[in-house]
Amino acid sequence: GAGVSQSPRYKVAKRGQDVALRCDPISGHVSLFWYQQALGQGPEFLTYFQNEAQLDKSGLPSDRFFAERPEGSVSTLKIQRTQQEDSAVYLCASSVRDRGLTDTQYFGPGTRLTVL
Amino acid sequence: EDKVVQSPLSLVVHEGDTVTLNCSYEVTNFRSLLWYKQEKKAPTFLFMLTSSGIEKKSGRLSSILDKKELFSILNITATQTGDSAVYLCAVHSGGSNYKLTFGKGTLLTVNP
């Protein structure tokens, strides 16, 4: 079966532009996560969805970051008025069960965002 | 604040060598520890460890967890050039048992 897919794989934006990053989780996976990975660092948690509900957005670095998963499958991470410090790889992950159980997260290939 | 520390940060070996990667953690309410391999694409899942002293093995890779000393090791025997990657350690902890806290990773380079 297909894994987690993300698009675009690469995005170059001028400072101040808005961007939208898409994640298609593994079919049937209840949980979806977004992580931000800066160069040379491990991924850092941004936000978590259980189906369509955003249960934790504590990792979003500012109110310019917004995520949604309206139908409980595909998710979009939107960054408004991008800044150079937003340059990073944005990883999406999904897992089959809800937050009640520790579960393996499967990652997509990421979107590499470069803000000029 | 939860912390995961990996060592070494980078390592260069020759094909056939055996390597040991380290991961130590300081977290509240530990639940599980995961290892991932990251090449220039998606981090791929290797192991999930929840119990101390039980080795998990997959081919030339193996891993074990010590919950008393708060660390895990990942061993790779008879390394191959295809093992070159960043190896990430992550921990599920606390009340948010869905959130993973990652270390910075170990960059392994295997030369022919």
**pLDDT higher than threshold 90 for residue B2:** no
How does DSSP classify residue B10? E
Whether B3 contacts B30, CB under 8 Å: no
Q: How far apart are the first and last CA of chain B?
A: 41
Our CA-based measurement puts residue A82 at a distance from the nearest CA of chain B, in whole angstroms, of: 24
Across the A:B interface, residue pairs with CB atoms under 8 Å apart total 69
**pLDDT higher than threshold 90 for residue B76:** yes
Q: What is the pLDDT of residue B51?
A: 86
pLDDT above 70 covers a percentage of chain A that reads 95
Whether B48 contacts B34, CB under 8 Å: yes
How does DSSP classify residue B5? E
Q: What is the mean pLDDT of residues A73-96?
A: 96
**pLDDT higher than threshold 80 for residue A98:** no
**Angle at A62 (CA atoms; ends A58, A65), nearest 5 degrees:** 90
How would residue A69 be classed by pLDDT, with cut points 50, 70 and 90?
very high
Tokens (6 digits) for B28: 């509240």
Number of other residues whose CB lies within 10 A of the CB of residue B74: 24
Tens-place pLDDT, residues A44-60:
999 999 999 999 999 99
Our CA-based measurement puts residue A39 at a distance from the nearest CA of chain B, in whole angstroms, of: 10
